[in-house]
Structure formats: C-alpha cells, structure tokens
Amino acid sequence: MNLDEFRKHCLAKPGVTEETPFGEEVLVYKVMSKIFTITQLTTFESISLKVEPEQGEELRERYPSVLPGYHLNKKHWITVLMDGYVGDKLLKKWIDDSYHLVVSKLSKSHRLSLDALNTDNQ
C-alpha cells in the first residue's frame, strides 16, 4: 500500500476528514472529529491505528511489523510498519476495524449524524 491508496481508503469512509493538527508532516484521519489513524505524510513509514487492547496485544505478538503505538497510548494504539510484511488486504481490514471501533464509541448524536451522512451518500 502506498500513501495515495491509504488516503483513498480512509477518505472513502463516511464522515472522515483528513487533517494535519500536529504539523504539516503528520496526516490524521478522523471520523466525526475522533482520530482513527495517523501517518507521516513525508515518509509514510508506518501507520498508527486504534485497537481494542486485546486485539493490539494479539497483533503485536503475531506480526513483527506491529509495534505499540508510537507517541500514543500503548494499550489502545498500534503502529504498523509499512515494510511490506503485512499485506494490503490485512492493512485495509485493520484500518476498517479502527474506523468502526471509533464509530462504536461515538455519542448517540454523532452516530445519528454519521448515519445521516450515509443516507445522503447513497
């Protein structure tokens, strides 16, 4: 997966915005103002994803390219090295999982707003 594919995959999801709140080099994707993935815009060496604690632990044990979240809460975030050891299909699944995890934690009003966006886009 390259940066363009990553961006397209993230932006295809309802309610997603692309921002650079931590400076021009850090690209952040949010759903309804909540972060679900982060990467470096200039190098694209890794992506960070939100995970359930048990899932993060399992992925770190199973895949050498999965590390504790870099500069993030190690319990709730993983950083995946873009070194080619994790295939695109699996990366996309993990991005989707991160998105859905964040959506599941949104307030009822934000989920209703997101549902309205889904309806408008269909």
- Domain CATH for 107: 3.90.1150.30
Q: What is the pLDDT of residues 74-106, one digit of tens each?
A: 999 999 999 989 999 999 999 999 999 999 999
- Model confidence, pTM: 0.92
CB 53 within 8 A of CB 69: no
Q: What is the pLDDT of residues 10-32, one digit of tens each?
A: 999 999 999 999 999 999 999 99
Nearest to 111 by CA among 31, 40, 48: 31
The parent domain of residue 15 ranges over 3-120
| Phi, psi (deg, nearest 5) at residue 45 | -85, -20
70 band by pLDDT with thresholds 50, 70 and 90: confident
Number of domains forming the structure of the chain? 1
